[in-house]
Each structure stands twice: as structure tokens, then as C-alpha cells.
Amino acid sequence: MTTRKQPEVWLLGHSVPTITGAKLPSRGDVLRRFFYAHKEEKKTVQQSAAEAAKEVLDFWTRARIPTIAETSVRRKITGLFDEWKILSKSKNNSGVTPAEKQKTFPKESLPDLLDIAHSDALTLMTIPEDKEFLLAQREKGRWGSMVGLDKKLKESVCRRESSLSCSRQQTPKGEEMVELESSSSESSSPANTANTSTSSSDAGVASPPKRLRTRGTKSVLSPDLVGALDRTGVSSRQALRIVAATASSLGHDPQELVLHPESIRQARAKYRSTLAKDIRDFVLLPFIGTGRSFLRTMALTPKDSPSSSQEKEWRSS
């Protein structure tokens, strides 16, 4: 049984299906893994960068070093691929500068660490050995290596995680106890209220339940105010800021007032319809004339209509 030999990548050698070793991945390791997904598995540049980024992040997670986001790691890998692609375009160039870059890239650039550490990694890390390992990996040659798993450290991390999970699970229960005690104290007598507060303090409840925010019930949108807002031509959102600031300066709590852009819009629409109706009724009254138009307006029956002689007298008068 014969296996197909993997083709070599220019300046990199053979591509690899996975990143191995006891050190943090170098730029060359990441590029070889990237080219395996890109050339052998026929994946796109972004898909290949995503696969390589996952393996790189796995190494840094095992080393307990804070890293940048995965999207930023992908950008670093695609940038490294773009750098290789620029060099590959000039491989047939006989100039001095391209030849020097082609020599220095595999010897000086590829063996260096692909640094994806967080900008404040040394500050966030608490174990001195981890800090020293990161600094050593950043040097030329990437000194040091990752050894076996520290059992004591693993046990301490597990204990810390279990304590955090327990505290998160107990938090909702504590809030429910406080709410139950507050509801019972409101429905009971003053004596029962004192007993409830004493029992809650004995139970270790340090603070009262948080007061839920309620909607305002006082309306300040009078017709005069709405009309003034309409005449000035301000929008509903601008009117909300003006009314809230005015109420606050007069000593009122804006949270107790009915203030919302939609409520202001509805109040303005109601004011406009009322104003239009009043104007229509006021304008139509002076134009009710005499004669037949007056009769049509008053909806008189034919027997009640005046004679032609009476109509002539009205016109002459």
C-alpha cells in the first residue's frame, strides 16, 4: 500500500495536518497547518485560517496565557499568508532585494512565535512561571517548553470553579428569600414586620430587595403645553427632554411623570384633531346665509317653506 506524497510548499516544506510540539506554535507551524487545509483539503482562505486559529488557541489555552479574540487570530494568519504570497510572486525575480527577503523569511521570520497574547497578558497572569514561559517563547529560538499537567494547580482551579458555580446557583435563591420576606412583611402587622426583619438579619441578609422601577402616573401634557410644543416645531424626542428638564428644575421627579415620545406624539395628535374641529365649527357659522340656502341648512320641510312673495320681501329687505 502506497501513500501519496504531500507536495512541498515554497519556503515552508511539507504541510502538516495538525500542529504538534511542546512549544507555542511558530509562524512556520501555523502556515504549514494553514496550507494543509487550503491546498490538501481544498478549503477557502478564511476556512483554513479558522482551523489553524483553533489549534493555535488550544496551545495557548493549555499554557494558561490570555489571548486576543479568535477573529484577531484569523486576521494574523491571513496577514501571514499575504506576506508569503507577496514573496512567492517575486520568486523568479533576480533582483537583490527579493533574493534577500527569500533567504531571511524562512530562517528568521518563520521560526519566531506567532504572538497572539493579550496586550495585558503579563498583568492578568498570576503565576510567575507562566510569565517567564511567555517571555522565553518571545525570544529567538523560543526557549522553554510545556511540561506535563500540574495536578496541584489543576485541583486549585477546579476548587475555584466549583466555588464560583455554587455562588452563582445560590444567588437567585437568596433574592427569592428576600422577596418573600418583603411581601410577607407588607401583608403582616407592625409586630410581624419587626419579627421578619429580625429573622432576615439573623439569616444573613445584608441588604433589602431592590426596588423595581415603575411607570409614571402623573400626566403633565396639558393642551396649552402641547400647543406650545407644536407651535415651536420641536420633535417628540426633543419635547421629552425639554419637559423632563423643566419638571426636574421645578422639583418634580421625572420618573413619576408620564413621559415618553409616543405619549407626546399621541397628545399632539389629539390636540391637533380637537383644534381642527373647533376651527371648522367656528368658520362655518358666519357663512350660513338667507333664502333657500338657509332653508337647506335648517332642513325645513316643503310645507314649512315660505311663499314666493315672502321670498321677494326678504330679498328686497
pTM: 0.48
Q: Locate 118 and state its grid cell.
A: 493579550
DSSP element (H, E) containing 8: strand 8-9
Helix ranges, the chain (H): 27-35, 45-62, 70-89, 96-104, 121-124, 128-138, 151-187, 190-202, 223-232, 236-249, 261-284, 292-298, 308-316
| Domain range summary for the chain, segments of one domain joined by + | 8-138, 152-202, 223-309
Q: Locate 172 and state its grid cell.
A: 437567585
Question: Going residue by residue through the chain (317 aa), what tens digit of pLDDT does each one get?
Answer: 445 556 688 888 899 999 998 999 999 999 999 999 999 999 999 999 999 999 999 999 999 999 999 999 999 999 999 999 988 888 777 776 878 888 888 888 899 999 999 999 999 998 898 899 999 999 998 888 887 655 666 676 677 777 777 777 765 544 444 444 444 444 444 444 444 444 444 444 445 555 555 666 777 778 888 888 878 888 888 887 888 888 788 887 777 777 778 878 888 888 888 888 888 777 665 555 444 554 454 444 444 445 555 555 655 65
Buried b (16+ CB within 10 A) or exposed e, 257-294: bebeeebbeebbeebeeeeeeeeeeeeeeeeeeeeeee
pLDDT reported for residue 137? 94
